[in-house]
Amino acid sequence: MVIATTLRVRGGPGARDAVWQSADMPADDRSPSRYSFVPGPADVVEVVSAEGVWLHTADGRRILDGAGGAFVGNIGWGRREVADAAAAAMTGGYVVPIWATPARLALVDRLVDRWLPDGFTQVFFTSGGSESTDSALRLARAYQVAKGRDARWRVAGRHPSYHGMTLGTIAVASHSHRQRGFEPMLIDFPKLPWDDADAAVAIIEHHADTLAGVIVEPITGAAGACLIASDDYWRAITDACRRHDILLIADEVMTGYGRTGLTWGHEQFPLEPDVLVGGKGLGGGYVPIGAVATRADIAEVLRTAGFMFFTFTGNDGACAAADKVLEILERESLVSRVAELGPQVEARLRSALGDHRHVVDIRGRGLFWGIELRCSRDAVVGAALARDLWVYPAGSGPVADAVMIAPPFVIDDDELDDLVARLTSALDAVR
């Protein structure tokens, strides 16, 4: 079954230094390049439909979606029942977020009963990852203020990291390309090193009197291409936050909802968050939705603080679609499938690329893999696209160049072989 979409993606060489396309485009341009507000090279791909792990373009290409779009695709493309669920919920019209609707309640119940860690009973919906991480920063501050600790306002991030594109989340993260040009507008939040437990704890202790929270990606996404810290590191950070009642926020926008083979990425480590942030996979790529979840004791403190919603908090169509995405993940045991596929993906990548001249490191879990490069990532993304494969460009700070692989959880054996073969051919072709 194929669902028509109007998604248009850009990729290929030059993406990193791209400019707004619309600036130099003729007013009567009818090519896919007229799609504005997305930086990228001129060779825009127009995707008109999608099915399974394949994207179909207007000019007849079939592109293997090796990154689930932007790490959103988990149940695969073309699931009519997701659209049907959203359509059924959208007939009710708009309901202000302070009221409940059946779609909102159903999603909260499914999350609390089956997806969130024990004790996480409160959920705040948003329209995506950035709104969710930004809300988590706000939540940490509101929590401390409600406890009478007005001096606590900072949130420590990590270097490197990525948490979204609001000014708050750009500031708390450390992703040089995405911060460039905005520096004067960004608060200088403390940054923990990604792997050094002693140094990280020293920074937390140093700022403890003004720290409201610490935000971490359990496995780094686009900034570090799947950097994985040690268990000691996560234990030390968890303990330091507990000691000072600093809220530990796990940004699971990439790693959540089964991407690493467990429900949550933090479960891979002795990392115990107080606040859990998710986006991407919650809507499976079908709808824009994110969620911030926390424990009842923290939510109770916030009740006196007041926590302003967004206009589209709990949008009914999005909630119903997300509920269906989660139901499909459960029904088809897709998270266990990711856990089974993880070692197979690793074996294939290592065998094909372990000794490749352009490859520095291969790392990841489940269906979440980073390939650190000693050549230009844009060249690799472009060469892959020339072979009808989409891989995600990544890297910043200590990881200069990388590509990431994160296919939908329904990818089969032959498609996995195909993915690795196309990527290998792309890397071979890059000089």
Q: Does 222 bind ligand PLP (CB under 6 A)?
A: yes
Query: 358 near 281, Cβ under 8 Å?
Result: no
3-class SS shares of the chain: helix, strand, coil, % to 5: 40, 20, 40
CA distances from 343 to 73, 260, 337 (A): 20, 11, 11
Burial 254-283 (b: 16+ CB within 10 A, else e): bbbbbbbbbbbbbbbbbbbbbbbbbbbbbb
Identity of the residue, 164 or 356, whose beta carbon is nearer to ligand PLP in the bound complex? 164
Q: Which of 327, 428, 419 is nearest to 65 (CA)?
A: 419
| Chain residues 164-183 in contact with ligand PLP, contact rule CB under 6 A | 164
In the complex with ligand PLP, the residue whose CB is nearer, 217 or 274, is 217
**Interaction pattern, residues 351-390, with ligand PLP; x per rule: CB under 6 A:** ----------------------------------------
* Shortest CB 352 distance to ligand PLP, Å: 26
CB atoms under 10 Å from CB of 420, counted, come to 19
Query: Shortest Cβ distance from residue 111 to ligand PLP (Å)?
Result: 18
Q: Cβ closer to ligand PLP: 226 or 345?
A: 226
Strand-pair partners of 159? 193
The footprint of ligand PLP on residues 107-166 (CB under 6 A) is 128-130, 133, 162-164
Stretch that binds ligand PLP, among 45-53, 192-200, 249-257, 388-396 (CB under 6 A): 249-257
Nearest to 65 by CA among 328, 309, 415: 415
Tokens 């009642």, located at residue: 245
Interface region with ligand PLP, contact rule CB under 6 A, candidates 18-26, 56-64, 217-225, 380-388: 217-225
DSSP string, 154-170: EEEEEESB---SSHHHH
Cα separation, 72 vs 264, in Å, equals 15
- Which range, of 110-118, 246-254, 359-367, 413-421, touches ligand PLP by CB under 6 A? 246-254
Number of residues that bind ligand PLP (CB under 6 A): 14
Q: Which is nearer to ligand PLP, 107 or 352 (CB)?
A: 107
Contact between 251 and ligand PLP by CB under 6 A: the answer reads yes
Residue 317 or residue 358: which is nearer to ligand PLP going by CB? 317
* Of 170 and 416, CB closest to ligand PLP: 170
Cβ atoms of residues 199 and 240 within 8 Å: no
Which positions lie near ligand PLP, rule CB under 6 A? 128-130, 133, 162-164, 217, 221-222, 251, 253-254, 279
